[in-house]
Amino acid sequence: MKARTTGAYVLIALGAMAVAVVAFSRGTALEVVFPIERARRAFSDNVWSRVKGACRGAAASAENVALRREVAALALAREDVARLEAENARLRRVLEYRDREPETWLAAAVLVGGGSGPRGALRVDRGSLAGVREGAIVVVPEGLVGRVESVTPHTSEIRLVTDPSLGVGCEVSLPGGGVLRGTLAGGTDERLVMKHILSAAEVPPRSSVFTSGLGGIYPKGIAVGTLLEVRNDSDSPRREGEVLPAVDFATLRDVFIRREK
């Protein structure tokens, strides 16, 4: 009986030792792998997270570039639409003006102008074979352009109203029925000068200026521009005015030449 009890104690002791050995081995193993696991976590927290962040940043950057390109393409498309609409509107005005009095006005395309030719002049593709004569007045739907200075069989040189040699008689309607008259004496594409103003009347701001018809060269009522201000003429006791042209001379594409009846 005593031998059995001793054997049981031995077995219990051996089991406890085995458990202790296993526990000690597992703890030792955990301690051994601890530096490895800590390094893996550090790598995950620092290096790998940065790699993923960089990848996400690169993807976002690429997406931003693609979006910017798409926005730029849309902007170009809108500009094309706006340009085409403006061109269509210009052509409609030209056709309407041409059809208004087809026997009076001859349409002509500008060959040289808008800064390409001599100051105050442009060349068009209609000449004597089309019935153009020297001295004929030239207009666009917006207003007065100038006069034909010289003619070849197929082309005409047009002197613009910016040239002081033309001397266009002009007038401005005043409140109450009166008029303020003067003579257009050249200028630039941006500003014209109206000289020899005799009236001392006050002119409403931004009044419209039209040809007066005096002298018989330019028909009455053709738009010339907008009177911005009237001041004393430094060269004479008369007054002079600054006029914003009705026509954008730098962008002329087509003009109308008056036919002589």
What pLDDT score does 118 carry? 43
Is 80 exceeded by the pLDDT of residue 144? yes
Q: Tell me the three state secondary structure of residue 86.
A: helix
What's the pTM value of the predicted model, to 2 decimals?
A: 0.60
Q: Which of 191, 138, 182 is nearest to 162 (CA)?
A: 191
Is 90 exceeded by the pLDDT of residue 230? no
What average pLDDT does this structure show over 8-17? 59
What pLDDT score does 255 carry? 92
β-pair partners for 193:
242
Residue 196 neighbours by CB distance under 10 Å: 17
In sequence order, the 6+-apart residues with CB closer than 8 A to the CB of 168 are 144, 161, 183, 184, 211, 218, 224
In sequence order, the 6+-apart residues with CB closer than 8 A to the CB of 209 are 170, 171, 172, 194, 223, 224, 225, 226, 227, 241, 243
Is 90 exceeded by the pLDDT of residue 169? yes
Structure tokens of 133?
């004569």
Residues 194-221: pLDDT tens digits? 988 888 888 888 899 999 998 888 989 9
In sequence order, the 6+-apart residues with CB closer than 8 A to the CB of 206 are 226, 227, 228
What pLDDT score does 116 carry? 42
Structure tokens of 88?
């269509």
What pLDDT score does 128 carry? 92
- Of the ranges 8-12, 104-108, 230-234, the best mean pLDDT one: 104-108
What pLDDT score does 244 carry? 93
Distance CA(147)–CA(134), nearest Å, equals 8
- Grade residue 246 by pLDDT with cuts at 50, 70 and 90: very high
Pairing of strands 223-232, 143-151: unpaired
> Could you tell me what percentage of the chain is helix, strand and coil, using 3-state DSSP and rounding each to the nearest 5?
40, 30, 30
Residues 80-135: pLDDT tens digits? 566 556 556 655 665 565 555 556 889 999 998 754 444 578 999 999 999 999 99
Residues 14-69: pLDDT tens digits? 555 655 544 456 556 555 555 666 666 666 666 555 656 556 666 777 777 677 76
